[in-house]
A and B are shown apart, each in its own frame.
Chain A
């Protein structure tokens, strides 16, 4: 129960912040309806041509589905790896922890273009040993994305773990639980938000990832950012704005749906209380 009230000034400031976050919608939505072939405001000529292009052009669909697959796989694998590593660090509490964390955070600390090159060389070599897994393959892209994304996951998980009281681990072990039992039945349930954040972060980062992807793919794999970036030298297809609007609408539907469900559940709870 929230009995701590936020002050008026805090709430006002946060409204300003939220308005800032939503500001680009003012341009993205109109731009998706422009009648011209380049990014511009409709200025009276509203058109659905870019939405039509999304449906009629199979390339967009292909890119979106590949991006979804990659992002999903990346999110799952990266969360698993980040969580297990962070838990390992948390359990061991050794001096080597800092060094290991440093190692794991490397892809985050190195300029993306260098990572792109490093992963390109790695993928071409990998392709020689394991065809189907290297350069210009879906699996190859997932491997590269996991490497790029996992440092952020580790930071998120470590932060989440730092909030957990160690004594529950102790208590659990003293009550006879094995390490695995402790992990799954005691620690992880307390990390739900951390795990969810990590998974979401991993998905979002992979979804947007462009620098490395441009390097390690050629003609066989096409992700959404790659398509969006293609031909930036020439033009930006307003269908990109249309895609954003569609995704935003989807998210809104989900979030509003959640609101409605919650509202109904609250109402039912109230009814039960009164009866």
Chain B
């Protein structure tokens, strides 16, 4: 082998290794063939295959669910260990990972708009759409820096003990405390709430975006005296409704489903006028585990089998439309992302949130505390 060609091979190998495309054993073997083992040992490459991949989500039930649905299979297929950290990857937390100069997170499960915001600031890496097949999800569910991992909805749940069979159906009903008296609950972190307020105020569904924030806040001021609590955790939203403290709530569909089961259908809900939102996979820039394994992981997590498993465990709708083919009729009913249910709902606009969430949230929270 010619000297410069050998050098070239070595460089290519080192690049591939740095990038996580080949593992340590392969690297040493190949370098051995090139009679460059000492160089291999001094290469100072951090071996992603030896390092577990760190996937960060919101903890709790999601820890085991992610394991069963995704990471166990990934480890079986590739030999790469995966550790799940339930720290809750807020935008601020991801920023601090990068600010430390040595991020320890690889893949994160973030709000889709966070992927856009952080991607803009190069805190995230662009996704490798050669490894990840982008067309497995609907176009609105992927961006340069994020691709949807699962979907969930904000729906209206109501207490049938209070209202009988004719419960509130529209957001205008939610705001109508005369016809439907009782306490309400809204989401503290604002997603879906401004939209609900605007719909209640008479804005047509196709004219929602860009959101008229002052108008929405004014409408929320109207209902605020009747809001018992602004829930910030699924547990809280469930607690408020399970005891009948709150008569009508705007909550996650996964919680609503559990509520109707736990209360023997005393709490009713439907996807009508719901708001569907998606959570996205994103990869930190300069992540410790190397680029290749993260993209492989994401691609694998988009496969229908794993997505179905997550749906069965947590109730979140799959992002990969092919998963629907694997679902039974009953499952399709409960799937927020099924064709039928999509027709009933409005999708939250990730781009609007990427551009306006921070500022709108501050105003919203200020109004809440008054």
Contact = CB atoms under 8 A, between A and B. Distances in A.
A–B touch (CB < 8 A): the answer is: yes
A231 B86 contact: yes
A117 interface: yes
B239 A234 contact: no
Contact of B262 (A36, A128, A136, A232): A36
A234 B66 CA distance: 14
A38 B255 CA distance: 12
A14 interface: no
Given A218-B87, A235-B234, A230 B63 contact: yes
B78 interface: no
Contact of B85 (A40, A218, A229, A236): A218
A158 B109 CA distance: 47
Nearest to B232: A233
B294 to A, nearest CB: 16
Given A39-B239, A124-B100, A214-B87, A219 B234 contact: no
Contacts of A218: 54, 83, 85, 87, 104-105
A230 B239 contact: no
A219 B83 CA distance: 7
Interface in A211-242: 214, 218-219, 229-237
Contact of B54 (A219, A230, A233): A219
A127 B88 CA distance: 22
B233 interface: yes
Contacts of B101: 124
A234 B58 contact: yes
Contact of B84 (A136, A219, A237): A219
B102 A136 contact: no
Interface string A113-126: 00001001100110
B242 A230 contact: no
A27 to B, nearest CB: 13
Contacts, number: 75
Contacts of A128: 102
A33 interface: no
Contact of A219 (B85, B99, B235, B242): B85
B235 A38 contact: yes
B234 to A, nearest CB: 5
A137 B61 CA distance: 24
A231 B238 contact: no
Interface in A102-141: 117, 120-121, 124-125, 127-128, 135-136
Given A39-B239, A235-B60, A121 B54 contact: no
B238 A38 contact: yes
B99 A121 contact: yes
A152 to B, nearest CB: 26
A233 B59 contact: yes
Interface residues of A, number: 25
A143 B101 CA distance: 21
A235 B58 CA distance: 11
A135 B63 CA distance: 21
Nearest to B99: A121
Contacts of A124: 100-102, 104
Given A39-B239, A218-B87, A231 B62 contact: yes
A108 to B, nearest CB: 22
B235 A39 contact: yes
Interface string B46-82: 0000001010001111110000000000000000000
A263 to B, nearest CB: 44
B61 A231 contact: yes
Contacts of A235: 60-61, 234-235, 238
B7 interface: no
Given A218-B54, A219-B54, A235-B235, A230 B99 contact: no
B26 interface: no
A231 B85 contact: no
A231 B102 contact: no
A170 to B, nearest CB: 51
Interface in B195-210: none
B159 to A, nearest CB: 16
B60 A230 contact: yes
A234 B60 contact: yes
16 contacts: A117-B96, A120-B96, A121-B100, A124-B100, A124-B101, A124-B104, A218-B83, A218-B87, A218-B104, A219-B83, A230-B86, A231-B86, A234-B58, A234-B60, A235-B238, A236-B235
Interface of B: 52, 54, 58-63, 83-88, 96, 99-102, 104-105, 233-235, 238-239, 242, 262
Given A135-B104, A233-B235, 6 more contacts: A121-B96, A127-B102, A230-B59, A232-B235, A233-B88, A235-B234
Q: Sorted from nearest, which 9 A-B pairs have the closest CB atoms?
A: A231-B60, A230-B59, A219-B83, A234-B60, A231-B59, A124-B100, A230-B86, A234-B234, A218-B85
